[in-house]
Amino acid sequence: MYQRTVFITGGAGFIGSHVVRLFVNKYPNYKIVNLDALTYAGNLENLKDVEDKPNYVFEKIDIVDAAAVNELFKKYQPDGVIHLAAESHVDRSIHSPLDFVYTNVIGTVNLLNAAKDLWLGTTHPSGGTWEQARFHHVSTDEVYGSLGETGFFTEATPYDPHSPYSASKAASDHFVKAYADTYGLPIVITNCSNNYGPNHFPEKLIPLMIHNIIHNKPLPVYGDGKNTRDWLYVIDHARAIDLVFHKGRNGEKYNVGGFNEWKNIDLVKLLCKLMDEKLGRPAGTSEQLITFVKDRPGHDLRYAIDATKIHKELGWSPSVTFEEGLSQTIDWFLNNQEWLNHVTSGEYQQYYKKQYNLDAPK
Ligand code: NAD
Ligand code: DAU
């Protein structure tokens, strides 16, 4: 008998797989159910090391399908939801905004409805109320818009999203808050800065650059490369989610970030330097691959998170420096080129079929 049953949505993705791993290993008394549609971003190879653990279950489900979501809530009766499933790439949102509305907005509302019906409309299997129930929505700093040269996003910064991605995440944050205010649903929201680390899908800046440096391909830097992002090691984000899910105050939102700002061009040059060293190439080799390309439309200039609240209230701070995290990340990609090859060849999408002997993912 498990102490808790926790749904982790998007658990086959980049951040979700780190959260699943942390919870499955740290909480053997919890049943962890990974709900994921296995879109192009979902990769069960990320979870090979935990897939046979007795407290881990995978359910292939599209959260846009309300009936399927309701069925899983009835089947497992979870008392926790950590919601990471999303369309997550800004560039894709510019070309296909509706996909972001379906998954990020409608998918989130489907989960909220199912949680509301279970936690506020039924008695707990033990006979009491759903005392431990909590819906943790994992969101982004992009909802706050763009900063100028100075200042930080705090939890009180007004929302000002610019891309279809950030607009969809802002909408989902508002729905989560609305379900707390209207129905009394127990919720917390975290808004995190840019993550990096193992298993990062190579469409995003850091893994794309690592991939292209390995293969001597051009390194596309958007615009003048002066856009700035605040980078956090993914395992530190997973630690923050664990803390807020268990100890965050009901109804609150918490910003998560590493106080670690980098202009894109400086970051790409640092990656080139570290990769030349690790690959034994002469200094300056990879920098020659840098190519300035057309800017992303609506490209936000600068993100920077003020993470004082989570630090003061919950004692969270990053466990690794950027230098350590970046070095470990490069080493991971160099030591796991099979993972990278499976992603670029599409073979990773066959893993589900092989492992579960079921239909191939969409
Ligand atoms: P990702 O794209 O790597 O993974 C998303 C996962 O969601 C995939 O496994 C995918 O299969 C699944 N998914 C997509 N649509 C689905 C659907 N309709 N039904 C069920 N599953 C679906 O994303 P990520 O980078 O790991 O981000 C995870 C969450 O964290 C997102 O909500 C994102 O907005 C948020 N976030 C990301 C970052 C970052 O830097 N990557 C920073 C802050 C917040
Ligand atoms: O801030 C949190 C967000 O970080 C998350 O909510 C998103 O899910 C996540 O994708 C990320 O969004 P960004 O747009 O900041 O990440 P991306 O890796 O796409 O780009 C980082 C910066 O690098 C951005 O300024 C655009 C630039 N860039 C990106 C790519 C892919 C390039 O210059 N060249 C590239 O090829």
Nearest residue (by CA) to ligand 2, atom 23, is: 205
**Which are the catalytic amino acids?**
141-142, 165
- Atom in ligand 1 nearest the alpha carbon of residue 102: 18
pLDDT at 186 over 80: yes
Residue 284 lies in a domain: no
Decide: 168 in ligand 2 pocket, CB within 6 A.
no
pLDDT at 359 over 70: no
Residue 160 lies in a domain: yes
pLDDT in tens, 70-122: 999 999 999 999 999 999 999 999 999 999 999 999 999 999 999 999 999 99
- Going from the Cα of 300 to the center of ligand 1, the distance in angstroms, rounded, reads 20
The b/e string for 305-329 (b: 16+ C-beta within 10 A; e otherwise) is: bbbebbbeebebebebebeebbeeb
| Consecutive H or E run containing 293 | strand 290-293
What is the reported pLDDT for 356?
Answer: 77
Residue 29 lies in a domain: yes
The total domain count for the chain is: 1
pLDDT level of residue 358 (50, 70, 90 thresholds): low
Report residue 200 as tokens: 């990062």
Ligand 1 test: best mutation among 43, 84, 101, 196, most atoms within 8 Å of CB? 84
pLDDT level of residue 362 (50, 70, 90 thresholds): low
| Beta-bridge partner residues of 140 | 192
Considering the chain, what percentage of its residues have pLDDT values greater than 70? Answer: 98
Residue 85 lies in a domain: yes
Ligand 2 test: best mutation among 89, 90, 212, 213, most atoms within 8 Å of CB? 90
Q: Which ligand is nearest to the CA of 84?
A: 1
pLDDT at 63 over 80: yes
Q: Are strands 228-233 and 261-263 parallel, antiparallel or unpaired?
A: antiparallel
Report residue 54 as tokens: 């007795």
Decide: 286 in ligand 2 pocket, CB within 6 A.
no
Whether 164 contacts 97, CB under 8 Å:
yes
Whether 149 contacts 302, CB under 8 Å:
yes
Task: Give the structural domain span for 101.
Answer: 4-197+232-260+305-322+345-356
Residue 315 lies in a domain: yes
Residue 189 lies in a domain: yes
- Going from the Cα of 106 to the center of ligand 1, the distance in angstroms, rounded, reads 15
Q: What is the C-alpha separation between 11 and 82, in angstroms, rounded? A: 9
- Going from the Cα of 298 to the center of ligand 1, the distance in angstroms, rounded, reads 21
Q: Provide the mean pLDDT of the chain.
A: 97
Residue 250 lies in a domain: yes
pLDDT in tens, 231-267: 999 999 999 999 999 999 999 999 999 999 999 999 9
pLDDT in tens, 146-184: 999 999 999 999 999 999 999 999 999 999 999 999 999
Contacts of 144 (CB under 8 A, 6+ apart): 153, 157, 158, 159, 160, 191, 303
Decide: 194 in ligand 2 pocket, CB within 6 A.
yes
Whether 161 contacts 141, CB under 8 Å:
no
pLDDT level of residue 354 (50, 70, 90 thresholds): confident
The half-sphere exposure of 53 on its side-chain side, counting CA atoms within 13 A, is: 24
Whether 191 contacts 143, CB under 8 Å:
yes
Residue 211 lies in a domain: no
pLDDT in tens, 288-337: 999 999 999 999 999 999 999 999 999 999 999 999 999 999 999 999 99
Whether 313 contacts 253, CB under 8 Å:
no
| CATH number, residue 106 | 3.40.50.720
Nearest alpha carbon to residue 72 among 39, 106, 26, 118 = 118
